Chain A
Amino acid sequence: KAGVTQTPRYLIKTRGQQVTLSCSPISGHRSVSWYQQTPGQGLQFLFEYFSETQRNKGNFPGRFSGRQFSNSRSEMNVSTLELGDSALYLCASSLGRTGTGLYEQYFGPGTRLTVT
C-alpha cells in the first residue's frame, strides 16, 4: 500500500506571496492532519479534516487554511507569506474519525517551504 505523499517536496517563495501544498493520504484513510515543524517551535498541529470537514484546528492565524476533497486528498494554503512561515509542513493520515483510528497517524515526507 502506498504511503502518504506530499507535493511539492521543496518550495521557495517570497514574502507576501501565497502557497498551496498538497497531500494524498494512504488509500482508505479518511482523516488528514497537517503539522508545521520548525527548529524553534517543534511540531505544531495546524488542522485536521475528515470527510471534507475541518474537525479540529490549532493556534495559527487565519492566513493558514486547508480543505479536503471527496477522495480524501487535502490541500493547505498559506496566504501573505511571512519569513516565519519557513518550515517543514507535514501531512498525516489516519483511518477514522475518533479514538484509536484517528490518532494512529502516518506521516508523509513533508514539504520544505522557504520564504525569502
Chain B
Amino acid sequence: AQSVTQPDIHITVSEGASLELRCNYSYGATPYLFWYVQSPGQGLQLLLKYFSGDTLVQGIKGFEAEFKRSQSSFNLRKPSVHWSDAAEYFCAVVPGSNFGNEKLTFGTGTRLTIIP
C-alpha cells in the first residue's frame, strides 16, 4: 500500500546538537514532499517543501531537508537545535501520479524533546 513512514516516534536531543528526522514514502512517481511542525495545542506550520529541482531544500527556522529518490526518503535536518524546537514534526506526501486528485497524506509524526 502507498504510504509515508516516520520510523521514529520520539527523539531526544541535547540543545546545540544536530538533528535528523527520518521520512520514507512508498509511492511510484516522485511525489510532492513537505515537513510540518506542530507545537502543543497549535496547528501545523509549514517548515519546507519539495516539488522539483534541487534536492536539498532550505526551510524556515534553520531547517533543511534532502530528497533522495534512490532511498525514497526526505529527511529533515538541523545543525544545532534550540529548546524552542521541541515539538511534533510531520512529514507529508502527495503522490506524484495524479496531482490535483490526490490528498496530502501525513506520517504519524515524530515528537522531539530537547534536553539542556
Chain A residues near B (Cβ < 8 Å): 4, 6, 33, 42-43, 45, 48, 56, 58, 90, 92, 97-100, 102-110
Contacts and interface: CB of A to CB of B under 8 A. Distances in A.
B104 A105 contact: yes
B103 A48 contact: yes
Interface in B90-116: 90, 94, 99-109
User: DSSP majority for the B interface?
Assistant: loop
A60 to B, nearest CB: 12
Interface of B: 32, 34, 36, 41-46, 49, 51, 90, 94, 99-109
Contacts of A58: 103
B44 to A, nearest CB: 4
Contacts of B107: 42
A45 B103 contact: yes
B99 to A, nearest CB: 5
Contact of B100 (A42, A43, A99, A106): A99
A110 B43 contact: yes
B100 A109 contact: no
Contacts of B44: 90, 92, 107
28 contacts: A4-B43, A6-B43, A33-B103, A33-B104, A42-B107, A42-B109, A43-B106, A43-B109, A45-B103, A45-B105, A48-B103, A56-B101, A97-B100, A99-B99, A102-B99, A102-B100, A103-B32, A103-B34, A104-B34, A105-B104, A106-B46, A107-B36, A107-B44, A107-B45, A107-B46, A109-B42, A109-B43, A110-B43
B90 A43 contact: yes
